[in-house]
Structures are given as C-alpha cells and as structure tokens.
Chains A and B, each alone.
Chain A
Amino acid sequence: MWSQDKIKSLTIRSLFLSAALILSWLEAILPIPLPIPGFKLGIANIVVLSSIVIFGKRTAVSILAGKILISALLYGSVTSFAFSLAGGILSFLISIVLIEKVPRLSLLGVSVAASAAHVAGQIAVSVAIFGIGSLSMLGWLLLLSVPSGIFTGIIAHTICNHSYFSKFVKAHGDKS
C-alpha cells in the first residue's frame, strides 16, 4: 500500500508532465511569427528545468522523455520528434552539467545555455535532414535563444523559489 506522501509526490510529478505537454502543445498550435522556421520559445523547458531542481535529474529525465514521446504521438511527426529529441537531450545534459558543476550560475544562466543547446541540437538534426544550408539559421536562432532562455529561466526560478516547492525539494527531491 502506497503512503500518502508517495501518492502526493507521484501526483505532483504527473502534474508537471501534464504541464510540459500542455505548454508544448500551445507552442505547436501558436507558432511564433518569425521568419525562421520551427523556432519556438521552448516554454516547456520551464517544466523540465524546474523538475531538475525540485525532483532531481532522474525524475526530470522521465518528464522530458514523457513530454517528447507523448507530444510526438499526439500532435507531432517523425521530423518534429527528431528535432525535439535532439534539442531536448542536449539542453537537458547542459542543464545538468551547469547546475551540478557551476553553482554560481543561477537558473537564468542555465536556461539561456539550455536554450542555446536546444537550438544547436535542432540545427544538427536539420543539417542531417536538409543539408548544410540549415546552418544559415544557426546565428539567428542562437540570438533568439537568449531572450527565450531569459524568459523561461525567470519563470523556472519563480516556480522553484515558491514556498510550496521549496518545502517539496527538502521532503521529496531524489537529487539523484
């Protein structure tokens, strides 16, 4: 029989996955009107970044994997899955390394680096699919990753500093 604490913890983690799915769905149906194909603010990264801090990397990676797989199945395509997977994995790895190895860096800085890594991963897939011409978008996408990273970083920082989640980190975070 599961304890009340375990049920509560599982429910909150499920809510985070649902939030990530809703945010990536919103991004899919409300594309940013920029002359750069496929650019997204990466607002779902708010959830992944917050999950790393609140639950630890083991739970965060399951939320990321769930988000990528379920969003591809519900409203994506093979191409969008490849873009999402490459960008998601690269930005996740960069986030983990920076959070663990560079404690002076705030979530804002981590988020900007993760956003740039997400762009780099997507461009790498684009080069593999469409050819070297895709690199012409790299500069503009990297530049746009700065404001989008700052935006997601500020929100993730606000969520992680909320008193409820601060308590949750102490009580349930797996910090694996």
Chain B
Amino acid sequence: MADIVVILTVILSAAVAMILPVFFSRGTPSYAEIVCDEGSFKLALDKDASRSFVSGECHVTVIIESGAVSVVSDCKQGFCMQKKISASGESIICAPARMIITIIGSDSGKEGEPEYVVAG
C-alpha cells in the first residue's frame, strides 16, 4: 500500500509538472532562442530557415520549418534530433553540445524583434 502511495505521488507530480507550463506559456510562439558555445541567438519562427553551430563536441543545425523547431546533430547520442518543438516555453536541450533552444512567446516580456544577436 505504501509503495502505491509513493508511485501515485510521483505520477501526480509528473502530471503537475507537465500541465503547469501550459498555464504559464506566454503568448503565441514568436522566436527560438538558442544558447550555445558560440553565443546567444534568436531565430524568427514565421519563416523557414536553418542555421549551423559548432558547440561543445558537436556540429548542430537548427531548422525552423512551419513554425516548428528541430535539430540535426552529429553528436553520438542524438537525443535532441528526436524532438520537435513549437509551443512557447518548450525546449530542446543538447547536453553534449552544451546547447539549449527555447521557444519564446510574444508576451514573454523580452523586448525587440527577433534577430541574430551574438552575446558570447
């Protein structure tokens, strides 16, 4: 019985962790923010595009297609390539490349038009 309580508690916590971002998503998806060894970049989601980066141990290409973001990478694990994101707040994390891609919404409070911004 105690085991079932633990299992249900973990499942409930997982459900809350999955549902909460839906309530906290901020506006319509506006741009993808990419943080990696090369710096910090923004890619607009309203037009198809792709951009390659060398980060960590990998060559990573970020692809914007029909408002969704996906990744092609030569890293040995390739987990990041199995995920496609399109909603505000969603992320792709490529640990070997030390890269995180997050979709920022129009009401995120981050000002300015999407553009390439080198911060590193």
Contacts and interface: CB of A to CB of B under 8 A. Distances in A.
Interface of chain A, main secondary structure = helix
Contact of A37 (B16, B77, B102): B77
Interface of chain B, main secondary structure = helix
Q: In this complex, which of A37, A109, A126, A130 has the most chain B Cβ atoms within 10 angstroms of its Cβ?
A: A37
Sorting the interface of chain B by its residue count into under 10, 10 to 19, 20 to 34 or 35 or more gives 20 to 34
A135 B15 CA distance: 13
Given A105-B2, A105-B3, A106-B3, A37 B79 contact: yes
Nearest to A126: B93
Contacts of B77: 31, 37
Contacts of B19: 139
Contacts of B72: none
A38 B95 contact: yes
A105 B19 CA distance: 29
B35 interface: yes
Nearest to B93: A37
Interface in B1-29: 1-3, 5-7, 10-11, 13-19, 21
Interface string B80-98: 1011000001110111001
Interface of A: 31, 33-39, 79, 102, 104-106, 108-110, 112-113, 116, 126, 129-131, 133-140, 142-143, 145-146, 149-150
